[in-house]
Structure formats: structure tokens, C-alpha cells
Amino acid sequence: MTQRAKIDTGGPEPGGHLIGTGTEPGPAHPEPPPVTHRPGGLTAAEVAERVARGEVNDVPVRSSRSTGDIVRGNVFTRFNAIIGVLWVIMLVVAPIQDSLFGFVIIANTGIGIIQELRAKKTLDGLAVIGEARPTVRRDGTATAVPTSGIVLGDCVELGPGDKVVVDGVVAEADGLEIDESLLTGEADPVVKKPGDQVMSGSFVVAGGGAFTATKVGREAYAAQLAEEASRFTLVHSELRSGISTILKYVTWMMVPTAVGLIISQLVVKDTDVKNSVARTVGGIVPMIPEGLVLLTSVAFAIGVIRLGRQQCLVQELPAIEGLARVDVVCLDKTGTLTEGGMDVTELRTLDGADEAYVAKVLGALGESDPRPNASLQAIIDTYPDSDDWRCTESLPFSSARKYSGAAFSEGDGQSSTWLLGAPDVLLPDGDPVLDEIEDLNERGLRVLLLARVTGELDDPRVAEGARPAALVVLEQRLRPDAADTLAYFADQDVAAKVISGDNAVSVGAVAGKLGLPGAANTVDARRLPEDRDRMAKALDRGAVFGRVTPQQKRHMVGALQTNGHTVAMTGDGVNDVLALKDADIGVSMGSGSEATKAVAQIVLLNNSFATLPSVVAEGRRVIGNITRVATLFLTKTVYSVLLAILVVCSGVEYPFLPRHLTLLSTLTIGAPAFFLALAPNKERAKPHFVRRVMRYAVPGGIIAAAATFSTYLLARTHYSGPDALSAETSAATLTLFLVSMWVLVIIARPYTWWRVGLVAAMGLGFLLVLVVPWLQDFFALRLVGTTMPWAAVAVAAAGAGLLELTWRAVDRRFPA
């Protein structure tokens, strides 16, 4: 038998075969110049010549920022500029101790750059592994090349799930249907014939063929749009946008406060200029939560590195965060719960059909499709082709149709047309054959119907009057790790919805074997209401949905989102692309089609569904821990602003030098925040990041500022003489440290041995500064007498008690 899509490796006819565009020119689809299609493709010499001329698809597709962008993004920030100016001032007017904050910023920036470069290396390495490698014909041979290796005039082959990576003109088409929704927004696939255009960014949903590249690289129509479509939109990151909002408010508060502080210290106070400058800078620097952005970047970067070690490619960093917020995960059965391969376990003939003849039909059907899916591949493996049949017409499998077909000229001169697909789609309701397969579906087996038809294959009503000839029973291979993964999601209160194009009862049986709650209550998606609100209610009630079309998958995702759910969609086939694109987080298997990997934010290169819990856990770690440490940073910002306002209003000297606040920031925020940000955290991600952080940081900062300023005023009445200011500063520093430590004590909950050790180590560090003489001198901290130091401790204890009561009240008023 002749396979219709077999590659013709012969050379072109003299002069080549000229193919027109077949379309009218217009703004959406500009007409390319006529191109010569050569079935055998270009020669190696022609490829080299085009590369030398620059006619190569050189559009870069990066999985991460460039090295230059990383360095610029970490160095040239608004707050680095402010702190840099203040640092230069302090280097001029004050001892090196008061310039320590500048060295800390340099170290932080370096850490951020190094961690993001490490993450970039991981991402780029994984991107190479998962990169699409289109098949092109060169020197009469089909060869897989990188996307960037395609040159002008290349003959590029297409099959189901392949993404069109450059613009071109169709040269060969065998039932070729292309989805252009990423470009046009139209969901219906477009049938393509020789001479029609194909655009970069579209993908094949059925059939196969080949096209000749007419525009490559940056000259390709919508080359940038295709790159954008492959990412289609950046995942919304509430964490990053929340931090940006906070920094904006901080800037608004900081500018007028800093101006007032400068005026009060340099103009109102008649003191030493250098000392006034130092204390002014000491008031401005702690207002800036500079380490918060660093820790967020580091947490994301380390998350990428950890997931990369598990062969998980995160194409958009905030996707880690997004999956942690997911409360519904939609799973495609094939390739997710089951492995790709299948086995034919039984062939049941119907209506007295001859089994040998049926086997010959199945063998011919397998040979008619050059790119068989898993079901057809199992049939090909079981029933070899007979060379005396010739395929005259074929209809590739489509997820929307749920069947494929072919017309044959048999060896004895007879002709016949056959369909192979879902029995409940090919047969009318109530057909007795459907009763026969019910018990098979209940056992989780997949059943295909072989039926003879009389109409034309391209007739949408060809299945009407189909005569059943046989049932092909297939057994699917369950993924060994699927049951544990479903159990994890159930334990984490993440609802799992199995959405499949297969028979609902069969899908439910597979899900039941894996222990999915609610698997027994299956729903045939053809009976789902079209109204989005009613559909959402039905989706909340059910767990297993069968006979779902690709468009329905998309509608189901939208209905769940309308009902307030954050939805993740997993899949590996071209029928999953639309749903993956619309889901909050799309997860593709590494062995999936090019189209699914292009629109997914996360690609599981090891094809292991069991990697998903690691991604969820990593996202929860990032969000939960950054929320913790953000409270530390912003409490400092609030008390710094309030202290400056109190100083301006009272007309006193600012109580701290930069060295004091550098010490406090290091011991109560910087060092503990680094460890807390990278610690395990399985707490489910909660929305409203800014609100949740500020409702703790604002009262914490107010209490810390009030307690510190109270101690400072008490010390000013207690001490006198030339060294009074130093003693007053030391007492205020003690109070601020103790209150800040209590903030850390609260943030560190629930306690583990290492968290208790972390808090104790920070307290010991401050104690060492107070008792070691050279550290006392270095940081200008010396407690004088006993009355005022103990008074400072008492004020701090009162502040800590009030802080505890306030935060508990916030917890009761705004429960998590």
C-alpha cells in the first residue's frame, strides 16, 4: 500500500514547481513573494549560502533575562541610587562605621546577581533540552533542526501538535488543519491546502503536510507576536506587584519625611554639622526596605534552581507563585494520569464481520496515518499493514470530531470507506452496541469502534448510518506516581478535575483506580449546560468529565475562573492548547506537542506528573516566606518614618547614627530574613499580599517607634553632660532592639529548633556588642548606669506585650 504522506525524495522538476500564495494581500496576512517548492528540500550548499547571507531564523527565544539585564536590574535601582548618594556623603563626613550600610548594599546586590545568574544558567540549560526542533527536508532527508537553524526556502514538515515557527506557503497538505487562535483569536481550525499561507505562532490540530519558509527571523510576519504568543501573557504575580505598590508608597512617605528631617537636623539644631549629617542619613537609610526586593529575587531564583534539578522548566518565574495559589487543577487523563502508550487487549467483531478482514482494515488504517496517535499506534503494533490495499483518501483524527477515517482501494478492485473512533460519537443513542461496551468502560478500558460508511470523508455527516464492524479494546498504562500525586492534592485542599475527550465512564474508572475522590460520579460533557454560571456549579459538583471537546475544555476553565477559582491545567496534546492558554497556570509534559509547550508556563521535562507537588511546595515556600520577611522589613520602614516625624515635630536630635541602625537591621531583619525566606513552608498561599503584610507592619512599626522615642525622651531627662547624647542613643537602641526582636519572635512562629536557635543567635550577637569593649567603641554603644538601661528594658517589655496583644487582635479581626 502507498502511504499518502510519504516523502518524495526525488529532485524538483526542471525549473521547479511554482506555488502561489492563494490569498489576497491585506494588512493581516501580507502576500509573500512566490516561492519554489522543492520536495527534497535544500542542499547543504544552499543552506550554507543562505546562512552566509543572514537568511536564517535568528530571532532569539530566551527563557530568562540576559546577563546584562540581570546586572542592570540589580544595580540600577531607585533605592540603590538613593543609598549610593547617602553612602558617598557618609564616607566623606563620618567614620567608616557609619558607612557600613553601603557595603551591605553592595553585598546584597552581588548576591542577587549571582543567584539570578545561577537561575539563568539552569533555565537556559533546560530550555535547550525542551526546545522545539522542527523537521526540515535537506538533501532529500528529513532532519530535525533547532528553530534558529531554519533558513529561507527550507521545506518544513508539519504534523499534529507542531507549531509553525516561521511564515511560509503550504506545499503539501494531507487533511491539514491549523489553529490560528494565538494570532487571530478565532478558535475554529482553518483547513489549509497547497498554496495557502501559514503564519508563525499558529499550530497544527489535525492532519499533516509541509510548507516552504518564505520569511524567517525578524522579517517574518508576526515574528514578535509569535514570540509573545508563545508566552501569551506574563503570569500575574501578586507578590511582585504588591512589593512594587509598597515601594511606591514608601517613596511617597520617605521624600517629605526626609526633607523635614534634613531641615530639622541641619537648620533647627545648632550642632556640629558632620554629626548632624550623620544622624540625618541615619534617619533616612532605614526607611528604605532595600533587602526586600533582593530576598524576593533570591527566593524566586533558588526556587527555579531547585525545580530545575527535577527537570522542571519554569518559563515564567511568577508561575511558581501562581501554582502555589491554585485551588483547582484540571488534568487531562492521557499523558497525565496514564502513560502515552496503549495495548490492544481484545478485538470484538460485530454483525458477523470476518475477523481476518477486520484485521486487514485496521492494518490499512494504521498505515494511512503518517503521524498516528497513541491509540492508532497500538493498533499498528498489533495489526500489520497489507501491501495490496491503497489509501485513496484519509481523514486525520481530530479531538473535535473524535474519529479518523480513510477510503481504500482493496486488492480485488473493491473500494471501501472506514471510520475509527469513539463509539458513542459514531453511533446514535440507544444503539445496542453501546450497551456492549458499558462493562468495558467501567473497567477503565478504552474502546474504539470500527465502522463502515458510504459517504465522503469530508462530509460532516459522514458518520450517519455507520455500520459497526468491530470494537477495538485498548488498555491504558497508569502512571505509577499518579495516585500519590492525586492524594497530595487532596491533602492540600486542591480540587482535582479530570477533563478528557474519552468516554466518561472509562475515565472515571481510571480515576477511581488512582483513588480520586468523586471518581464514581462521572459527567458526560456533552450534557453540560452552556451557560457559564450553571456550568461552573456543575464543575464544582463533579470530578470526572468525559467526551470534552478542546473548545469545551477552554470554556470549563473559564467557568471555574468565573466562580473564583485559580485554575491550573495540565496536558500534553494539541487538544489541550486552548485550555492551557486560558488557565491561570498551564503545565505541559516535556513529551507533549510543540504547541502545548509553547503556551505553558511550566514544562515537566521528565514527563512526571509527580513533579507537580514539588512545584506547588516551592511556590508556597516562596510566597509564605516572603510574606513573613516583608513584615520584618516594612515594620522597620514604618518605625523609621515615624521616628523621623517625631524628631521633626519635637525639634530634638535624631537618636541614631547609621551604624546603630545597620547593626539593628542586620540582627533583627537582614540575617534572620535570609534564613526565613529559604526555609520550608507548606502554608497555602493566601491572596491580598499588601493588605496582609501592612496590617501587621503598621501596628508593629507604630509600637516600636513609640516605645523607642519614649525611652529616648526619658534618657534626655536622665542624662546630662558632654556624653549625654551617646548614652541616650544607647538606651533608645536597646529598646528598639528588644521590640524588634519581639517582632522577629512572632514572625518566626511556629517554632522549630533552628528558628529558636536563629532568634537566640541574634540576641547573643547584640549582647556581644554590649559587653565586648572594642565592639562598644566600634558601634558607639555603651549603657551608662543601671536605672536608664533597666527603664529601657521595661519600656521595651511593655511595647512587646502591646505588640503581642495587637497582633492577636489583628488575627481575630482578620482571620487567615
387 plus 512 within the same structural domain: no
What is the distance between the alpha carbons of residues 202 and 627, in angstroms, rounded to a whole number? Answer: 40
In a domain, 206, yes or no: no
The answer to whether 770 touches 781, Cβ cutoff 8 Å, is yes
Residue type, 655: P
* 568, 644: one domain: no
Q: C-alpha dihedral over 433, 436, 438, 440, to 10 degrees?
A: -120
788 and 658 share one domain: yes
Count: domains in the chain: 3
Higher pLDDT, 642 or 182: 642
Per-residue pLDDT, 772: 93
- Are 638 and 773 in a shared domain? yes
Would you say 389 and 409 are in contact if contact means Cβ atoms under 8 Å apart? Answer: yes
CA distance 5 to 369: 8
Do residues 692 and 791 both lie within one domain?
yes
pLDDT at 410: 81
Contact 588, 571 (CB under 8 A): yes
pLDDT at residue 216, as a whole number:
84
pLDDT at 128 over 70: no
Mean pLDDT of the chain: 82
- Residue 335: how many CA atoms within 13 Å on its side-chain side? 27
Cα–Cα nearest to 300, from 273, 321, 331: 321
pLDDT band at 199 (very low <50, low <70, confident <90, very high): confident
Residue 346 CB neighbours (<10 A): 12
Residue 127, pLDDT score? 66
Task: Looking at the structure, tell me whether residues 519 and 572 fall in a common domain.
Answer: yes
Residue-wise pLDDT for 144-158, tens only, equals 888 888 998 899 999
Whether 662 is in a domain gets the answer: yes
Let me know the angle formed at the C-alpha of 187 by 184 and 189, rounded to the nearest 5 degrees: 95
What average pLDDT does this structure show over 657-669? Answer: 90
More confident residue, 338 or 219: 338
Average pLDDT over residues 721-730: 86
Q: Helix/strand/coil (H, E, C) string of 279-344?
A: HHHHHHHHHCCHHHHHHHHHHHHHHHHHHHCCCEEECCCHHHHHHHHCCEEEECCECCCEEEEEEE
pLDDT, position 184: 62
Domain limit, last residue, from 443, 477, 511: 477
Residues 649 and 786 in one domain: yes
Bridge-based pairing state of the strands 544-546 and 522-524? parallel
**Confidence class for position 38, pLDDT limits 50, 70, 90:** confident
What number of helices (H) and strands (E) belong to the chain? 28, 23
Half-sphere exposure at residue 489, Cβ-oriented, CA atoms within 13 angstroms: 28
Element housing 390 (H / E): strand 390-398
3-class secondary structure per residue, 137-174: EECCEEEECCHHHCECCCEEEECCCCECCCEEEEEEEE
For residue 676, the domain's CATH number is 1.20.1110.10
560 and 528 in a common domain: yes
Same domain (yes/no): 774, 648: yes
Amino acid at 2: T
527/446 same-domain check: no
For residue 798, is pLDDT > 90? yes
Going by their DSSP bridges, the two strands 403-409 and 544-546 should be labelled as unpaired
Report pLDDT for 129.
63
Residue 471 lies in a domain: yes
Torsion 575-577-578-579 (CA) sign: positive
Handedness of CA 377, 378, 382, 388 (dihedral sign): negative
331 inside domain: yes
- pLDDT, one tens digit per residue, over 514-541 is 888 888 888 988 888 888 888 988 998 8
pTM of structure: 0.69
Structural domain of residue 599, as residue ranges? 308-337+479-615
Q: What is the pLDDT of residue 34?
A: 54
Residue 92: Cβ within 10 Å count: 10
739-756 average pLDDT score: 93
- The pLDDT tens digits of the residues spanning 485-511 come to 899 888 888 899 999 888 888 888 888
Bridging pattern class, strands 602-604 and 312-314: antiparallel
Report the 10 Å Cβ neighbour count for 127. 17
Residue 519 CA from chain centroid, whole number: 28
Query: Do the domain assignments include residue 569?
Result: yes
Same-domain status, 521 and 605: yes
Q: Which amino acid, 314?
A: V
Is-cis flag, bond preceding 687, omega within 30?
no
Q: Is residue 346 part of a domain?
A: yes
**Running DSSP on this structure, what letter comes out for residue 501?**
S
Residue 101, number of CB atoms within 10 A of its CB: 23
pLDDT band per the 50, 70, 90 thresholds, residue 182: low
**Which letter does DSSP use for residue 469 in this model?**
E
DSSP 201-245: T-EEEEEEEEEEEEE-GGGSTTHHHHHHHHH-SPPP-HHHHHHHH
Least confident of 11-15, 186-190, 375-379: 11-15
pLDDT reading at 805 higher than 90: yes
Evaluate whether residue 134 is within a structural domain: no
What radius of gyration, in Å, describes the C-alpha atoms of the chain?
A: 34
CATH of the domain at 431: 3.40.1110.10
The total number of residues written for the chain in this structure: 816
Query: How many angstroms separate the Cα of 529 from the Cα of each of 135, 536, 559, 561?
Result: 42, 9, 11, 16
> Given a cut of 70, is residue 62 above it in pLDDT?
no
Residue 145: count of CB within 10 angstroms of its CB: 17
Residue 233 has a pLDDT of 39
Question: pLDDT tens across 387-437, in order?
Answer: 778 888 888 887 778 888 888 888 777 888 999 988 888 888 888 888 888
Where is the domain boundary, 569, 597, 615?
Answer: 615
What cell was used for 545?
A: 468529565
- Cα torsion 108, 114, 115, 116: sign: positive
461-474 confidence digits (pLDDT tens): 888 888 899 999 98
For residues 485 and 460, membership in a common domain is answered with no
Question: Any idea what the CATH number is for the domain that residue 564 is in?
Answer: 3.40.50.1000
Q: Is residue 223 part of a domain?
A: no
**Residue at a domain's end among 550, 583, 615:** 615
Pick from 250, 262, 292: nearest CA to 85:
262
Catalytic positions, written as ranges: 332
Q: Which residues of 790-810 are buried (b: 16+ CB within 10 A; e: fewer)?
A: ebbeebbebbbebbeebbeeb
